[in-house]
Structure 1
Amino acid sequence: MDNSASVSTWAWSPSRAAGGALAVGGVILLVAAVIAASDPAGLVLMGIAGLMLLGFAAHALVIRPRLAVTSLDGQPAVVIRSLGGTHTYPRDRIERIRLLDFRRIGRRTGQLEFDFLNDDAPTTAIVDGLRDDTRLVVFGRWDLGADLSDVADELRRAGFVVDDQRA
């Protein structure tokens, strides 16, 4: 992805193809539930699974981009979209950005963590250790539709400090 033109072009979200595949899977499960209507347990289980897949697909296809880097008053800012709405955090409201790596069920998975200061939290508080007035937002590869190392590199190019704590 070439983002050299402008800071406002940096945006990441789940793949549209993956969201479409979830939608197709949800429809297939709902059709299978109707076909298996003679089995009440199968009807309920496949119906619930189909509705959940459609919900995941809607989330992946509607809430876009999940993470973006933009300019706010000449300074870089992070924009997060979620079910709760769109939130913009300038650099001084970001406590920490970490790139982590975990071992889960025999394979390594990554996470990109953001600690944002709450709206009423002072930006210059002197605190030993972790602050209590922050909001944690965690993204995985699925959420951003890109390699987390590439996203961290783009955040660094935009002027953010990203702690790489991978093993």
Structure 2
Amino acid sequence: MDYKEKDFIQLLNQNQKIIHKVCNLYMNWQEDKEDLFQEITLQAWKAYSQFRGEAKFSTWLYRVALNTAITFFRKDKKNAFIDTVSEMPELTVPMDRDPIEDKTKAMYEAIAALSKIDKAIVMLYLEDYSYAEISEIIGITANNIAVKMNRIKVKLREATLKNFERI
């Protein structure tokens, strides 16, 4: 194993939580998460020779992971992504419900219904990345991120209220 491989493995081990977050955000089933994890790792390794260190490795890895997740199932029509959140059966909730837990569930349902790009922006925003950092990862201007984030907040507010009323 040469130094390039050792560096990559070390950096990947230090930042693998990023890949897990992306996999959990975009996939619902464990098997799909594992497949996506492997695909992201492979794509990161293929692109590692082009990593110049101008950005942090974590920022670069987020970009690779998100791009891979967004295009993962487009490559193979047999594995077309199905948003299974809307297909999940209604869960029976006990009578002593926790309103905070209900609001949290409603928010997660609203996030799950967002487009893939909007999910990525929300995830990075919740990770406390600045608009400039999100811009660098997603590949659109910081101003565009700010506009999208404002629109996403409105969508989430409306969808969360709607989902919460349903719960």
- Shared fold per TM-score greater than 0.5: no
TM-score, length-normalised on structure 2? 0.26
Query: In proportion to residue count, which structure has more helix?
Result: 2
TM-score, length-normalised on structure 1? 0.26
